Amino acid sequence: MKLTIVYDNEIYKDKPGTSDHGFSCLIETDEQTILFDTGTDGNILLDNMKLLDIDPSIIDTVVISHEHYDHNGGLEHLLPHLVKPTIYRLEPSIMDSSVEENKVDETIQIAKHITSTGRLSGSPKDEQSLLLETKKGLVVLTGCSHPGVGTILQSAEKQGKVIGLIGGFHGFTDFELLQSLHLIYPCHCTAFKKEIKKDFAKTAFDCGVGLTLTL
């Protein structure tokens, strides 16, 4: 399973692309290609994909973590480049017969080895996260963590051992919850990136457009 950050507030090292407030992560497996969130600006999203040699037409499925502009903003611009996509979101809103939209409430399998937590109550928005199954355990992919990192991890732990956390953590400060994790990638809206990377120097890493991970 390969992950590529295609939209983020930062650029990863010397990778090509444009940084912008928002988040999007491409997930490639042997069976499916999934885009988790679409950032804010569809033009930036598509330009970043082009610079990273990603053809958007390979995307089978789009998962929207929550209905905020910095996570669903690029979807409308992206859709014409997709071929009969399936979309999983908490609040379906596209009136297009060529697009299959699925309303997510409960835990649901999105693809082989990829499961949604289902709707988790959050403020100001409810949210879903993805659980990525690896040989060593689950890696959790978040949008903004509006329900709280603790709530998301607790939900994920019902499905198995959690070894990693990637995405936006917002104002999260309960750093002790990260002690058992082997992979920590604070992205996008995470307020205390420097503190997390300092406290978990061996397990917390930089995030940004162009970052690729193989799980």
CA proximity to 177, closest of 195, 154, 161? 154
Question: What is the per-residue pLDDT for 97?
Answer: 78
CA dihedral over 125, 5, 161, 189, signed as positive or negative:
negative
**80: how many CB neighbours lie within 10 A of its CB?**
8
Per-residue pLDDT of the chain (215 residues; tens, 9 = 90+): 999 999 999 999 999 999 999 999 999 999 999 999 999 999 999 999 999 999 999 999 999 999 999 999 999 999 999 999 999 999 999 878 789 999 999 999 999 999 999 999 999 999 999 999 999 999 999 999 999 999 999 999 999 999 999 999 999 999 999 999 999 999 999 999 999 999 999 999 999 999 999 99
What pLDDT, on the 0 to 100 scale, is given for residue 95?
A: 78
Contact indicator for 110, 59 with CB cutoff of 8 Å: no
- Which candidate, 176, 173, 168, places its Cα nearest to that of 200? 176
CA distance 59 to 205: 27
Q: How buried is residue 177: exposed, middle or buried, by Cβ count under 10 Å (0-12/13-18/19+)?
A: middle
Pick the CATH number of 2-214 from 3.40.630.10, 3.20.20.70, 3.60.15.10, 3.50.50.60: 3.60.15.10
Yes or no: say if 90 and 83 are a contact pair by the CB < 8 Å rule. Answer: no
**pLDDT at position 98:** 82
